[in-house]
Amino acid sequence: MKIFSVKKAALLLLCIAVLTGCGQKNEVTLPEDLPIELEFASGVGGWASYLTLERDGSFSGFYYSADRGDCGEDYPNGTMYICDFSGRFSDIEKVDEHSYSLTLAELNSKHEVGEEWIENEVKMIAISSRPYGMEDGDEYILYLPDTPMDALNEDFLSWWPGQYGSDAMPETLEGYGLYNIKMGYGFFE
């Protein structure tokens, strides 16, 4: 008789745990001062990816690459390759006081690949749904302002817009940074 009671009690506890969400992860959101706008660019011009990141991990963005030399009668101002995109990060986890890990869960493009049109005498051509900076790799790190610079990866910092300035490198990151781990790319606020 005791065995039946123990089984019954265990079953009851299991049901309570399932109904109350025991074992489920708490949903983590990003810092309260988001949304933020981040940029991935080389600093020499001609192309860039812009991304607006929301607290819940959703984002929207725009990539462009201009080719002024590719002109035609209907598009004398050149050609622009674009990707108007949106998506979301999932599995948001706070790693430490300076960073969060994120997994790219969704990435969508507004236009079909290869779609073309003329706008303001510029030929627009839609490219892949994965814009430059996000074309490979699903694991990212969001670094917070005041992250010590010596704790950051050299590949990530190679994309930092302040790297070629005449001033000495600051001791901490002055704004947010988003690091594509696989590709070594960095988006900066």
CA distance 146 to 96: 13
Residue extents of the structural domains in the chain:
31-188
- Assign 166 a pLDDT band (cuts: 50, 70, 90): low
Give the dihedral of Cα atoms 77, 45, 104, 145; nearest 10 deg: -140
Question: Above pLDDT 70, what percent of the chain?
Answer: 81
* Tens digits of residue pLDDT in 168-187: 778 999 999 999 999 999 99
pLDDT at residue 60 above 50? Answer: yes
106-157 pLDDT, tens digit each: 999 999 889 999 999 999 999 876 788 998 889 999 999 999 999 999 999 9
According to the model, what pLDDT value does residue 128 have?
A: 74
Distance, CA of 135 to CA of 171 (rounded, Å): 31
Mean pLDDT, the chain, whole residue set: 86
Q: What is the mean pLDDT of residues 28-37?
A: 91
Measured distance CA(75)–CA(69) in Å, rounded:
11
pLDDT of residue 127: 87
